[in-house]
Chain A
Amino acid sequence: MTRMVETAMSPLQPTLPQITVLGIGNLLWADEGFGVRCVEALQQRYEFADNVALIDGGTQGLYLIQHVQQADYLLIFDAVDYNLAPGELKFIADDDVPKFLGIKKLSLHQTGFQEVLMLAQLTGHYPTRVLLIGCQPENMMDYGGSLRPSVRAAMEGALDEALRVLESWGAAPHKRASPLAGEEAVTLPHLELQRYENERPSEQQACRIGDERILARRA
């Protein structure tokens, strides 16, 4: 928490590039939570240099623009539908990111992330490097549910690749010496994966399905 505020208040040394890791998606909708869960896991396991910011972007759309603008290097985790096998990862870099998001309309969020990237470009503040780590969701219609095993397993490959890239960008990842304290987490401890799963109400208590027309459109 402290570091986040400092980042907000005092500009960093101009010599160090700002590295931003952004997880987007809605963790209430099963595999839609992939992006946020990746950021959560990354922070639970690793510490980074001071010029690295981890962001739980949720479904904030346009309100994430400052994080894009501030970044020199931007890494995005998101669940994106490429019609691949469930849990398959896709890595898209640099200029291909907005283009890809644009053509295939991959973003699952209303304020398309492509639009956010384009607006950042229009303002002239745009990262020099962008990497999108996308994961093919298996199920996004299980309301209140968690990641499916296929997507959960895919997180490992996603994190490995993220660490490799972050290392090359100068993020200096190193394994945490002591566990992450709850208040330091960029994601909310109330929504932490294990707790979220353990305290889920039963199917009798809480309806888990969505609108069937949306299901049909996705089929």
Chain B
Amino acid sequence: MSTYSTQGFDLNNTGRRIVVDPVTRIEGHMRVEVNLDANNVIRNAVSTGTMWRGLEVILKGRDPRDAWAFVERICGVCTGCHALASVRSVEDALGIRIPPNAHLIREMMAKTLQVHDHAVHFYHLHALDWVDVVSALKADPKRTSELQQTVSPAHPLSSPGYFRDVQNRLKKFVESGQLGPFMNGYWGNPAYQLPPEANLMAVTHYLEALDLQKEWVKIHTIFGGKNPHPNYLVGGVPCAINIDGDLAAGAPLNMERLNFVRARIDEALTFCRNVYVPDVLAIGTIYKQKGWLHGGGLSATNVMDYGTYAKVNYDDSTNQLPGGAILNGNWDEILPVDARDPEQVQEFVTHSWYNYPDNDKGLHPWDGITEPNYELGAKTKGTRTNIEEVDESAKYSWVKSPRWRGHAMEVGPLARYILGYAHALKGNPHCQRVKEQLEGSLRAVNLDLPKALGLAETNLSAKQLLPSTIGRTLTRALEAEYCAEMMVDDWNELMTNIRNGDRATANVEKWDPSTWPAEAKGVGIVAAPRGALGHWIRIKNGKIENYQCVVPSTWNGSPRDAKGQIGAFEAALMNTPVAVPDQPVEILRTLHSFDPCMACATHVMSEDGAELSTVKVS
């Protein structure tokens, strides 16, 4: 099986094989292998999660009310989303409804995480795929200042002296041999297409983002008591409201703290609006202008999300990012998604290192099994402990293959934005902002920015621009901005409730396990920064009987399934040209655009990833 077609892609693994292991600047550990044709275009892609994932199993027999604290430790990045999905799954199982204030506080915590994670991901993990740090040393600070005033006119930090200072600091750092965070770069590679001034501007914003992000997470400290592992509570939120009280009253939420939260929300919104979104638009415009619109993969056809950010809790019709599934690129038809339906979400292990009773049949997460089975295919090169090349016709990853009604789907901000746009076009009043943002971005990328930068205007439609690596990175920025905007509404609504005398933050009626049924099952859904996250729980006699997480990077990083369908990472790499085969900048750029979090998708333990990716070209 050297060639076959699936999902509109022609896979061909006869060309030169390139192995990138580990893929750096991600959370967790993954490996990717691709085959190049004679023109160095990717014609086959194989994504392997190289770590075993078994978080669920250690939850067995534990108290469901404790599960959130364990799942917070799945991963080093998205602690809050797992904790939230966990408490929601328990509440769903036990029929617990949380008070409106708890909903608003959870929303603000979730959206804070979204803004924080997106901005940090872009500047710290992803920008270096677009931005050549070393080239920034050659930039003219005066022209950098002019560039910034063109693309980010509202951002006050823009004097030539400011950029000169940053450049000097960077120079000193590079000269001292401490490349540190920049060690993993392929500086000077022709795949980098920004002028030095754009590179210096981006590096400067990298440092600004680093300074600001620490302020935003203080919202978690206020609502969740501590950071980086905030407290959650089955039934609501663990923070009481005492609006006139001082801190001695023991209630963490008083007016001073709420005002503090509001100030951080406003700062985050300002940064997204004035810096983050304009940076992504400018970088996207320049790369688009060079014709680099690769990386769309499954997003051009199949996207999915459960739907999120209900204006009215428990009323999905008020979701500000409505869910659904789109198949075959038909944006006119949005199919409903139900996480409880055993026929819809299923995980397959045909190509994953796990055992099912029937290896080619999928299991719904409530019936999920996590039983490791590490075995290699006959065509594997290397040994069990040192794989040179995996055999993708057999089992080849620790990631399972989730499918929706049998289809491989892309999840994430891009999926949410394609769905939001499709819903908005159908007149859904709760997501018109998505349409507005996307149309504004298209105008900027096609007309305004090319004009300002002296480039030719283009006429790309949403359907042409969005399903791409640029589109994935752009929608993540737009989602950060939108989340910050929605937080302002959440905050205002919380204030109104408090003024009206509603101080309830938790429903503890069913806290005591003696009030629970002997058996119960539930599901908790969260729009995690990387995409659709679900936790499925079964409770028996007050203890956890089964627990399964289907995380975004499992959807996106899934290996092939029983039908040979490839996953979203694999699809996104297809047909991308690689300028220098042993410097896989383009591969990393597209993989990073998903913000892969393989710690969740597989498990937490990992080797140190500070070294440069090992790239083997055979």
Q: How far is the CA of A56 from the CA of B76 in the complex (A)?
A: 12
A98 to B492, CA, bound (A): 45
- B27 contacts chain A at the CB level, 8 A cutoff: yes
Stretch at the interface among B62-70, B138-146, B356-364, B449-457: B62-70
Q: Is A177 an interface residue (CB 8 A)?
A: no
Q: How far is the CA of A210 from the CA of B385 in the complex (A)?
A: 13
Mark interface residues in A1-45 (1 if CB within 8 Å of B CB, else 0).
110111011000000000000000011110010000000000000
Given A28-B70, A201-B60, decide whether A4 and B221 contact each other with a Cβ distance below 8 A: yes
List of A residues within 8 angstroms of B417 by Cβ: none
Tell me if B385 and A58 are in contact (CB < 8 A): no
B233 to chain A, nearest CB (A): 11
Q: Complex formed: what's the CA distance from A162 to B257 in Å?
A: 34
Residues 165-183 of B at the A interface (beta carbon under 8 Å):
169-170, 173, 178, 180-181
A90 proximity list for chain B (CB < 8 A): none
Among B222, B228, B398, chain A packs the most CB atoms within 10 A around the CB of B228
**Chain A residues numbered 35-88 whose CB sits less than 8 Å from any CB in chain B:** 55-66, 69
Cβ contact within 8 Å between A109 and B70: no
Asked if residues B52 and A210 are in contact (CB atoms below 8 Å), the reply is yes
Looking at B294-302, B306-314, B557-565, B602-610, the stretch in contact with chain A turns out to be B602-610
Contact B606 A110 (CB under 8 A): yes
Residues from chain A with a CB closer than 8 A to the CB of B256 are: 9
Bound-complex Cα distance A115 to B182 (A): 9
Asked if A211 contacts B604 (CB within 8 A), the reply is no
CB-nearest residue of chain A relative to B247? A2
Taken together as a complex, chains A and B put the C-alpha atoms of A212 and B207 apart, in Å, by 39
A45 to B26, CA, bound (A): 37
Cβ contacts A184-215/B at 8 Å (1 or 0 each):
00101011000000011110011101111110
Q: Do the beta carbons of A32 and B605 come within 8 Å of each other?
A: yes
Picked from A122, A206, A210, A216, the residue with its CB within 8 Å of the CB of B605 is A210
Question: Are B58's CB and A206's CB within 8 A?
Answer: yes
| Cross-interface CB contact of A210 among B63, B228, B603, B610, cutoff 8 Å | B603
Does B180 contact A119, Cβ atoms closer than 8 Å?
yes
Contact B73 A112 (CB under 8 A): no
Task: Say whether B374 contacts A211, CB under 8 Å.
Answer: yes
Residues of B contacting A140 with CB < 8 Å?
605
Chain A residue nearest to B210 in the complex (CB): A123
Interface membership of A180, Cβ < 8 A:
no
Q: Does the CB pair B252–A1 fall under 8 Å?
A: yes
Partner of A65, one of B57, B169, B214, B260: B214
A121 to B172 CA separation, bound complex (whole angstroms) = 11
Residue of A nearest to B65 (CB): A190
State whether A118 touches B58 (Cβ < 8 A): no
Whether B210 lies near A109 (C-beta < 8 A) is no
On whether the beta carbons of B606 and A211 are closer than 8 Å, the reply is: no
Q: Please indicate the chain A residues that have their CB under 8 angstroms from the CB of B170 in the complex.
A: 122
- Confirm or deny: A169 has a beta carbon within 8 angstroms of a beta carbon on chain B: no
| B228 closest partner in A (C-beta) | A60
**A136 in the interface, Cβ–Cβ < 8 Å?**
no
| Residues 106 to 165 of chain A near chain B (Cβ within 8 Å) | 106-112, 114-115, 118-119, 121-124, 140-141, 143-144
Which residues in B have their C-beta under 8 angstroms from that of A5?
A: 221-222, 225, 247, 252, 257
B146: shortest Cβ distance to chain A, in Å? 25
Q: Does B124 contact A (CB under 8 A)?
A: yes
- Chain B positions 57-115 with a Cβ under 8 Å from a chain A Cβ: 57-63, 66, 68-70, 72-73, 75-77, 79
Residues of B contacting A: mostly: loop
Asked if residues B218 and A9 are in contact (CB atoms below 8 Å), the reply is yes
Name the B residues within 8 Å of A191 (CB-CB).
69-70, 73
**Contact A110 B387, CB 8 Å, known A63-B228, A122-B181:** no
B580-618, CB under 8 A of A: which get 1 and which 0?
A: 000000000000000000010001111111110000000
CA distance A180 to B225 in the complex (A): 16
- B169: A residues at CB distance < 8 A: 122, 124
B179 to chain A, nearest CB (A): 8
Whether B387 pairs with A213 at a CB distance below 8 angstroms is yes
Cα-based distance from A39 to B596 in the complex (angstroms)? 30
Chain A residues contacting B10 (CB-CB under 8 Å) are none
Q: Is the pair A217, B607 in contact by a Cβ cutoff of 8 Å?
A: yes
Tell me if B514 counts as interface (CB < 8 A to partner A).
Answer: no
Q: Are B211 and A123 in contact (CB under 8 A)?
A: yes
Kindly identify which residue among B58, B76, B226, B603 contacts A186, using a CB–CB cutoff of 8 Å: B226
- B252 near A110 with CB under 8 A, answer no
Q: Which residue of A lies closest to B178 (CB)?
A: A118
A57 to B178, CA, bound (A): 24
Inter-chain contact A118/B73, CB cutoff 8 Å: no
Let me know if B386 is at the binding interface, CB within 8 A: yes
In B6-33, which residues have CB < 8 Å from any A CB?
26-29
Any A CB within 8 A of the CB of B371: yes
Are B27 and A111 within 8 A (Cβ)?
Answer: yes
> Contacts of A202 on B, CB cut-off 8 Å?
61
Which residues of chain A have C-beta atoms less than 8 A from B374's C-beta? 211-212
Judge whether B120 is part of the interface by a CB distance below 8 angstroms: yes
Q: Are A205 and B181 in contact (CB under 8 A)?
A: no
* Minimum CB distance partner of A81 in chain B: B608
CB-nearest residue of chain A to B606: A110
Q: How far is the CA of A106 from the CA of B607 in the complex (A)?
A: 9
* Distance of B524 from chain A, by nearest CB (Å): 17
Determine whether the beta carbon of A118 is less than 8 Å from that of B63: no
Say whether A9 contacts B260, CB under 8 Å.
yes
Pick the most buried of B29, B51, B398, B610: most chain A CB atoms within 10 A of its CB: B610
Determine the chain A residues whose CB is within 8 A of the CB of B26 once the complex forms: 110
Q: Are A201 and B58 in contact (CB under 8 A)?
A: yes
Selected A-B contacts with CB under 8 Å, 15 pairs: A26-B604, A28-B604, A61-B27, A69-B214, A102-B610, A105-B611, A107-B608, A111-B609, A114-B610, A122-B170, A144-B58, A188-B69, A199-B63, A205-B61, A212-B384
Given A5-B221, A106-B608, output 19 extra A-B contacts at Cβ < 8 Å: A8-B221, A26-B605, A28-B604, A56-B226, A63-B77, A110-B599, A114-B180, A122-B180, A190-B66, A190-B69, A191-B73, A199-B61, A202-B61, A207-B370, A207-B371, A210-B52, A211-B51, A216-B385, A216-B386
The 10 closest A-B pairs by CB, nearest first: A118-B180, A66-B214, A144-B58, A190-B69, A216-B385, A206-B57, A59-B76, A112-B610, A190-B66, A60-B228
